[in-house]
Structure 1
């Protein structure tokens, strides 16, 4: 009798599923509005350069928060083009949805340089929060965005100007955004605005700024910025985005890697299926300073594979022009044009680095990106965020790996589903593929997937028995 009830319930679950969607790992790509203003065609990226099917979501970076509790564009041409009849950058990016209707385009608000400005005022009290949320809904709808990506860097961070109330204020803000997004969708009949965030990767930032278990209830997904672990500000070499830590690493840095950061979010109560890991299409570059006994590549490699050597910021790349940072295509060019810039593989960290007598770069390539996406799938995380589209080799001319090789490496690996998800798609879903947030009333799909998988898996076992 019990078996009969279970079988019928499972069959009903599969047959009554009207979502008509397949499981898709999230691929959240950032479009930086300043990239369209670069003067050379190599480093400039405009919306028309982007493959509409490369990403499941594109976050427009950035919008800003004013003291008047409203959202606003950063650049004049975000809303309107420079000439009378030209389109603004918002509209041009949203045009990609005409080719790929399943693409979702969100406005990312904040960023590192924005810090806590505006956010402190917004989160100060309930009245301010409600005013801001109402203003945000209007701004997002007026400009046809599909949602809001909250990139406050960071609540609780005194060095970034966050005020004492910011941790609890952040929770109240997120809850009200979620509630009012749902109310607005119910009243208007429109697809609910998505609510997502970009968040800290370091434990001290996470614990200082987020009531993790609570805020994760309200976000459609949470994107952990698992990069910028090390840089020239430390005065020594360190990898930008290691997958794992080193055994002999100092305790302070032992959790400064993707594996550990994601574990912190899970440990503090965020469901794995809501979490995205972060991927960067750039490297942190160092100009090595001479030390006694460190005179050539051989001796440098003996010293922790060149990790921890005294160093400053490398010279800016000739295209991106930021000291200590090089785009993926600039790194490819350095490797190809100078044989002394050799590529090594760090076994413990599972990432590559470039090392020569004067230069050290910690970055990602196709091999490490593929490993990171396999890690993502093995651990049950929901997707990846990638910063940023303009830093990849958009034409493929520099790295000879095809267009957008870093982003496509992530996409190609994430399109290969684990067996249990492939089987689930075949048993409980039809042949249509929709973006994740369109499934299950626009909630994250993976939780629902896991539940349905359990029923379908159980059905297999019962029938076999």
Structure 2
């Protein structure tokens, strides 16, 4: 096992069987709530969150306007104005029931408007960096948050500028740290760990000096882009698949000087699905002809929610197997394959 991982990042789900989170042993459980409309069995309101399962909760995602200021991407969900649902207020009210709980807001993520090339252009200008810092401080204070989780996907990649982005990123983190220290705010950054991109994206030593934690994107190792099926959050690497495991991603950071006590290991609560090429070839490494079929509620090919996965395992003839190389379970039904 990866004994070097001292911290844990998880996604919130309705009711999972763990002991209540506590800070007494120094361990951290960061739970992320994704705002937005969900229906049926995947519906999960802020009210459903059990705040005692987490030491820290992250509300995701907000964005950045064209001047570099923080903004809501879904004001009807996030805010109280104009008869909004006030989810941010409800989220932070959870601290009334768990006095040691800390809440953060995540900025960036996978929304199409929050692209790397846009962040690259915005944050190449020092004035925009400072506007972001100032507006973030104001937002955190106004909405009773304890910190920020910055998710730029990714400096130097996906249309970003590999020549300057990693320096802009460090400059921004330094400005945030300077102001956050005055108010005891928490600063987290969400990062990948891919060998071929790390040197374009990050200066690890400088990141470590300026943040409280680095949440590692330690999943999505396999999907529609892969050569064969595999476990998207594999603990260990399958044969020669580079950067295809938690072990590889974590070690990429530590060998570059990351402090293990500042690393958060991401755990996804969804399934990446595949359509098998041959129904009788179901092991990790088998060929596939496409991503998995759409599910009733998520409505994205190649993706299955935790709730839908549980329902299928209970109601259908799925076969569950264990892969001893990647140290993960997976399941299949006819030509449909999903890791668990």
Per-residue CA shift, 1:154-203, capped at 9, x if unaligned?
0010x2444631111101111111012123x2xxxxxx111101110322
Aligned to 1:230: 222
Aligned to 2:99: 101
Question: Residues 118 and 160 of structure 1: is their aligned pair in 2 closer, same or farther, counting only changes over 3 Å?
Answer: closer
The number of equivalent residue pairs is: 316
Looking at structure 1, the residues matched to 131 and 243 of structure 2 have their Cα atoms a distance apart, in angstroms, of 39
Looking at structure 1, the residues matched to 301 and 272 of structure 2 have their Cα atoms a distance apart, in angstroms, of 9
Looking at structure 2, the residues matched to 82 and 73 of structure 1 have their Cα atoms a distance apart, in angstroms, of 12
Looking at structure 1, the residues matched to 136 and 118 of structure 2 have their Cα atoms a distance apart, in angstroms, of 13
Q: Pick the aligned partner of 2:24 from 12, 22, 25.
A: 22
SS of 1:232's partner is: coil
Question: Residues 22 and 336 of structure 1: is their aligned pair in 2 closer, same or farther, counting only changes over 3 Å?
Answer: closer
Moved more, 225-234 or 329-338: 329-338
Looking at structure 2, the residues matched to 160 and 230 of structure 1 have their Cα atoms a distance apart, in angstroms, of 22
Per-residue CA shift, 1:71-128, capped at 9, x if unaligned?
00110224434874x6511101111111012111111000123222542244213333
Aligned to 1:342: 319
Whether the 8 Å contact between 1:236 and 1:312 is mirrored in structure 2 is: no
Higher helix share goes to which structure? Answer: 1
Question: Residues 312 and 82 of structure 1: is their aligned pair in 2 closer, same or farther, counting only changes over 3 Å?
Answer: farther
Looking at structure 2, the residues matched to 82 and 312 of structure 1 have their Cα atoms a distance apart, in angstroms, of 44
Structure whose alpha-carbon radius of gyration is higher: 1
Per-residue CA shift, 1:225-247, capped at 9, x if unaligned?
1010010233632211100012x
Length-normalised TM-score, structure 2: 0.87
SS of 1:234's partner is: coil
Which structure exhibits the higher relative contact order, with contacts defined as CA atoms closer than 8 Å and separated by 6 or more residues?
1
Question: Residues 91 and 177 of structure 1: is their aligned pair in 2 closer, same or farther, counting only changes over 3 Å?
Answer: same
Question: Residues 156 and 286 of structure 1: is their aligned pair in 2 closer, same or farther, counting only changes over 3 Å?
Answer: same
**Where do 5+ consecutive residues of structure 2 fail to align?**
1-22
Aligned to 1:148: 148
Higher strand share goes to which structure? Answer: 2
SS of 1:319's partner is: coil
SS of 2:172's partner is: helix
Question: Residues 337 and 22 of structure 1: is their aligned pair in 2 closer, same or farther, counting only changes over 3 Å?
Answer: closer
Looking at structure 1, the residues matched to 178 and 66 of structure 2 have their Cα atoms a distance apart, in angstroms, of 23
**Where do 5+ consecutive residues of structure 1 fail to align?**
1-20, 186-191, 364-465
Looking at structure 2, the residues matched to 151 and 362 of structure 1 have their Cα atoms a distance apart, in angstroms, of 25
Q: Pick the aligned partner of 1:325 from 282, 290, 303.
A: 303
Looking at structure 2, the residues matched to 93 and 353 of structure 1 have their Cα atoms a distance apart, in angstroms, of 34
Aligned to 1:404: none
CA RMSD, 1 decimal:
1.9
- Any residues of structure 2 matched to 1:30-41 within 5 Å, and which? 30-34=32-36, 37-40=37-40
SS of 1:278's partner is: strand
Are 2:164 and 1:165 equivalent residues in the alignment? yes
